[in-house]
Every structure is written in C-alpha cells, then in structure tokens.
Amino acid sequence: MTTPRSASKDFIREIIDEDLNSAKHDGTVTRFPPEPNGYLHIGHAKSICLNFGIAQEYDGRCHLRFDDTNPAKEDTEYVDSIKEDIHWLGFDWGDHLYFASDYFEKLFEWAVHLIENGKAYVDDQSSDEMRSGRGDLQNPGTDSPFRNRPLKENLDLFDRMRAGEFKDGEKVLRAKIDMAHPNLNMRDPVIYRIVHTEHHRTGDTWCIYPMYDFTHGQSDALEYVTHSLCTLEFENHRPLYEWFLENLPVPSRPRQIEFSRLSLNYTVMSKRKLLQLVEENYVSGWNDPRMPTISGIRRRGYPAEAIRNFCKTIGITKFKSTNDISLLESSVREVLNADASRFMAVLKPLKVVITNYPEDQVEQFDAVINPEKPELGTRKVPFSRELFIEQDDFMEDAPKKFFRLTVGKEVRFRCAYWIRCNEVIKDDDGNVTELRCTYDPETRGGENPPDGRKVKATIHWVSADHALDAEVRLYDRLFNTESPDSGDSNFLEHLNSDSLEILPAAKLEPNLADVAVGETVQFERLGYFCVDIESSDESPVFNRTVGLRDSWAKAKPKS
C-alpha cells in the first residue's frame, strides 16, 4: 500500500519538508512506541496512520518499538495484539521491530554517566515525601536531603539497587536538575525505580527499571529517529526529553513534535477505564465489538480503509477537540456502501404463506450483488410458498401513511412478486403468528402489473424452506452520553443498557452461508453486518457493524 503526498500539508509535514530542504536530515525516520500494557484503541490509530503514513510518503521508515519499562502491567498478549492491529490497518515495520528492553544495559550505563557527572543521585525518600517536596505551580520544590550525596556513594547505591539489595520503593534514582524550575517535570524527576517483578522479555535479569521519560528519548536516539511524534500531553515533557539528550552521549538528536490526540464522543479512551470494563465484565473482552479498541472495531466489521480515511479527514492539528463518532460511522458506511455485497435477512421473522402459490414449486430470482459494482453481477435467491418477513413490515391496524404490508393491501417483495395480505393468524394471546397472502404471477421480478396499479413499498423476505438460521447481535454505542468520563460522575453510570440486543432466531438468505468470518455485508434495508469470530457452520453469528443511517441523529437536541 502506498500513500500519495497530500497537496495540503499539516504542520508536521511542513516541518519535515523544511528539515529535508535544509539538509538537516537526508531521510525521515519515525516510530510508533506503544506500551504493551493493554490493547490499542482507535485513538492510537491516528498515531499509527501518521507515523507509518509519513514513512511511506517520504520513502523513509517507521519503527515499531514497544516501550516495555513497566513489567507489572505488561504482557506478550498485548505485544501480539498490537502487531496484529497495525498489520490490519495496512502498515508494516519490516525489519524494524524494537523493544525498549533491548536497551536496558545501555540505559543503565547512561544513568551511571549522569551520576558520574553530578547530574543524578539516589534518593531514599518515600513517594509521598518526594511528592510533597516537589512543590506546585505557585511554589518551588524542596531539595531532597539526599540530593548532595557523594558521587561514590551514589554509584555504590545504584549498583546495589541493580543487585537487588533493596525492596520496592526503598530507593530511586533521580535526575539532578532544578527543584525551582517552572516546569514541574524538571524538578529532579525519578529516572529509575525498583520493581521486583519478572519482565515479559528479560525475566528476572533486572529488578530496576527506567522510567518512561528516561527511556523514550534515548531509545529514539539509539534508533536514529528523526522526528518523534507525540500527542499533546507530552508537550510539557519535551524540555526533559531534550535535557536527557543534551546531557548524554547519544548518537543522534531526534526532534519531538506534539499533535492533538484523537478523542471521540460516546466513548472512553483511558486504558485504565477500558481495563475496568473488561475486568468487571461490563463487556465480553478487549475485542468486544462495543469497545473502541482496534480489535473491537475490527470484530464489529469496520474496514481498515474506513479508519484510515477517518484519520485523514480529522487531520493533524495542535488543537484539543472531540470528534463526533457519527463522522467515523459515516466513513464506515462510505467504504461499505462501495464494497459490501448485498443479501436479504429477516431479524425478527413473521411467517407468510402464499396460498395461491404451488406447494412444491421453488423459483430462483436474480438479485444484484452490489449496485455500486455492476461487474459483480447477480446472485440467485430462492422463492417458495412459505416465506419470512420482518415483524415491523406488517401492521394489522395500519395508519394512513404506513405503506408496508397490511390486510387488504399489496406490497412488492424484493426481486419477486407483488403480494396481497388477506388473512391474519394469531395465537391464543392475540399475537400475530402468520399471514395468509396471495401473489400476482404477472408481477414476476417485481415488475408493475399490466393494469397499471401501483404500490408504494418494497420489502425484503427469505424463503422459509431455504433459510439459514443464525444469531444476530445488534451492537450500539456503549455509552448513552457524549462525555461519559467528564465531570464528577462515575463513567459506568452512563453505560447504555441497550448497547447489545441478541436476536437468536434470525432467518437469512442461504447465500450468506458462504460469507467468511470477518467479512462485512449489507443486509438490505437493515444495515451492515459482519460474521463474528464465534460463528460456525452449525451456528452462524452476525454482528451489526453500523446501520444504514445515523439513528442517533434524531435524538440529538436542536441547537
């Protein structure tokens, strides 16, 4: 996959152009540096598309580097899922797969270098004491009583920290910068802490681990990254990023540039909150189709192209904003409208018996596979005496503007015949269980009859004798408010109780038996649906990807 350079460039691409034109760099190297402590969500997709997209546009390269510096929260499951997500989005890192843990020895050496140059010290204070001594935006911090420890004592203690002589939290290594600095990140930040937890790659080799701020810039430098692209929350960390590069013998000097992160309404992006949803069983897992995780939206049937298009549409800026999820859904519809094959499916079936149709007769009607791609031709759909239609397509006591099926009126059955309802069969509780109808043989293929009469509605159907029985899961937005994690309320209070409806007795056109797991199709008149990973030949399962229209738009108050 190649990405053409955009005629209208964002500020990051303008910076890269300036650096290349001035010969500051002779190429472009970016990186995507996830922490393997959870599954990626759609917010990460923006960064993936930006970093890998720039590498493609400028004939450069993009590294995938796992910043695995916190063994207590990291797992190979997350590493594998992140790789899968990036490949699904259409990108590849080639030979450039790295881990921050690859650099642990070098980072340790550089920490020693800071100690030897009087720019780092071992602190015995507790985390609460350090937090208290840090000060705030109005008040400077207070020097640690251990800030001026002798160099040899710092080196000895740091070696003993590595050797495992001390407990978690008993000591830390801090950079020695300025406790009165206006940027709180520069007030002697912790750069190493003790963690007696096995690492997913290095095992128990280490019991001290570098902090993210100490790891990130040096890893970029070791990989000769030219442009380190971060979201806005790292803007205040940039002085520290640059301080480390200036005070260490790094082989290159990357440039950190910040951009606004992708935020969506009706969802949460915090990994902590997403993990809570999983662990407390509000969803079925990280890949639940209601989750904003990349694995979740993939399982729901969102096309990777739609995600890339969405990221391109919202663009790259430095302004914080929340994007409307309807824009994402619109991007999904646009791609699926062009690509998805059409089929008929009845989700809440109501039986129809055509009394004047021969009992043993079966006809095959031609139905278009995709009107956007006429070259795909047509498919054969069986028609018989007994059929299913949607319960909502019939109303016994219909109002004047109800144009679908009702007693004494006709409708067009898609691609088949005109049908008239003559009789309604009910059970002992008064529920409609069956419709007795007749068909007009002169309307074969849905054509208008010779006498010139007209109908105002066309409905879909499925042959009862040929129907594929399936479970259909109607997924909707996980939250019922635009900003579920704003204010003082618990975000769990805003969960949408109607975010999942399971329909166990759907009747599908038999051609749907050939649709592969993960493929998204259109159920005519109903929306787009994807074959779920739990689906099997014996028990097909389809997930609703998105409706044909934005059903939430009606509920929004007018401004």
178 within a domain of the structure (yes/no): yes
Residue that the structure tokens 């995780």 belong to = 293
Q: Is 489 found in the same domain as 378?
A: no
Residue 8 has pLDDT above 80, yes or no: no
**Read out DSSP for 180-224?**
T-SSGGGSS-EEEEE--S-BTTTBTS-SEEE-HHHHHHHHHHHTT
Q: For the purposes of burial, counting CB atoms within 10 Å of the CB of 296, is it exposed (0-12), middle (13-18) or buried (19 or more)? A: buried
74 part of a folded domain: yes
Cβ atoms 292, 42 nearer than 8 A: yes
pLDDT at 5 (0 to 100): 46
Total domains present in the chain: 3
Query: Cα 174–177–178 angle (5° rounding)?
Result: 120
Predicted confidence at residue 487, as pLDDT, reads: 78
Q: Are 235 and 337 in a shared domain?
A: no
User: Residue 4 pLDDT more than 80?
Assistant: no
**What CA–CA distance (Å, rounded) separates 162 from 119?**
19
Active site residue: 9, 35, 334, 471, which one?
A: 35
Specify whether 163 is located in the same domain as 281: no
16: exposed, middle or buried (C-beta count within 10 Å: 0-12, 13-18, 19+)?
Answer: buried
- What is the per-residue pLDDT across 161-200, written as a single tens digit (0 to 9) for each? 999 999 999 999 999 999 999 999 999 999 999 999 999 9
* β-pairing verdict for 378-383 and 418-426: unpaired
Task: Name, in order, each residue with C-beta under 8 angstroms of 196's C-beta and a sequence gap of 6 or more.
Answer: 164, 167, 168, 207
Catalytic residue among 83, 261, 414, 525: 261
* Residue 5, in any domain of the structure: no
CB < 8 Å & 24+ apart, contacts of 420-428? 421/394, 422/355, 424/396
Q: What is the pLDDT of residue 555?
A: 55
Residues 303 and 371 in one domain: no
Query: What is the distance between the alpha carbons of residues 476 and 499, in angstroms, rounded to a whole number?
Result: 4
The number of CA neighbours under 13 Å toward the Cβ of 448 is 7
% of the chain beyond a pLDDT of 90: 93
Location of structure tokens 């440039």: 255
Residue 552 in this model has a pLDDT that exceeds 80: no
Q: Does residue 150 lie in a domain region?
A: yes
Element (H, E) at 54: helix 42-57
- Give residue 191's pLDDT: 98
Cβ(79)–Cβ(66) below 8 Å: yes
Q: In this structure, which amino acid lies at residue 229?
A: L
Angstrom distance (rounded) from CA 532 to CA 475 = 12
35 belongs to the catalytic site: yes
Average pLDDT of the chain to the nearest whole number: 95
Q: What is the DSSP string of 317-341?
A: -SS---B-HHHHHHHHHHHHHHHPP
The label of the residue with tokens 């590493």 reads 79
State residue 89's pLDDT score: 98
CATH number, domain at 414? 2.40.240.10
Residue 167 lies in a domain: yes
The whole domain housing 383 covers: 345-460
Q: Are residues 97 and 155 in the same domain?
A: yes
52 within domain boundaries: yes
pLDDT at 125: 97
Residues 288 and 373 in one domain: no
221-251 tens-digit pLDDT: 999 999 999 999 999 999 999 999 999 999 9
- pLDDT band (50, 70, 90) for residue 488: confident
Please indicate, yes or no, if residue 313 is contained in any of the structural domains: yes
Q: What is the DSSP letter of 303?
A: -
Same domain, 493 and 383: no
| Active-site option among 73, 147, 162, 271 | 271
Residue 107 makes CB contacts below 8 A (sequence gap 6+) with 210, 214, 215, 218
The residues pairing with 98 across neighbouring beta strands, listed in sequence order, are 65
Single-letter amino acid code for the residue at 98 = Y
- Of 259, 294, 325, which marks where a domain is finished? 259
Together in a domain, 35 and 132: yes
Cβ atoms within 10 Å of 346's Cβ, excluding its own? 27
Pair (126, 227) in one structural domain: yes
85's enclosing H/E stretch is helix 76-89
User: Residue 559 corresponds to which amino acid?
Assistant: S
Judgement on whether residues 255 and 277 belong to the same structural domain of the protein = no
pLDDT over 70, % of the chain: 97
| pLDDT at 1 > cutoff 70 | no
CATH of the domain at 122: 3.40.50.620
Q: 130 and 68 in one domain? A: yes
Rounded to an integer, the average pLDDT of 534-542 is 96
Residue pair 496/277 in contact by the 8 Å Cβ criterion:
no
pLDDT for the residue numbered 452: 86
pLDDT of 559 higher than 50: no
3-state secondary structure of 375: helix
What are the tens digits of pLDDT across the range 402-442? Answer: 999 999 999 999 999 999 999 999 999 999 999 999 999 99
Q: How far lies 221's CA from each of 50, 58, 59, 95, in Å?
A: 20, 20, 20, 18
Distance CA 381, CA 521 (A): 16
Distances (CA, A) of 376 to 23, 90, 529: 51, 25, 20
**Residue 553: per-residue pLDDT:** 65
Rounded to whole angstroms, the Cα distance separating 70 from 197 reads 9
Q: Are 10 and 316 in contact (CB under 8 A)?
A: yes
Q: In what order do the strands lie in the sheet with 418-426?
A: 458-459, 410-413, 418-426, 432-440, 349-354, 386-390, 462-463
Element (H, E) at 244: helix 238-247
> What tokens does 6 get?
């955009």
pLDDT digits (tens, 9 = 90+) for 330-350: 999 999 999 999 999 999 999
Annotated catalytic, 261? yes
Contact at 8 Å (CB) between 410 and 387?
no
- Is residue 265 situated within a structural domain? no
CA 2/CA 68 separation, integer angstroms: 30
142-151 confidence digits (pLDDT tens): 999 999 999 9
Alpha-carbon dihedral of residues 364, 368, 369, 375, nearest 10 degrees?
120
Using CA atoms, how far apart are residues 554 and 464, in angstroms rounded to an integer? 35
Using the 3D structure, point to which of 436, 460, 484 is the last residue of a domain: 460
Please tell me the predicted confidence (pLDDT) of residue 447.
85
Of the candidates 228, 259, 290, which is a domain's last residue? 259
pLDDT value at position 486?
Answer: 85
In whole angstroms, how large is the CA radius of gyration of the chain?
31
Residues 171 and 240 in one domain: yes
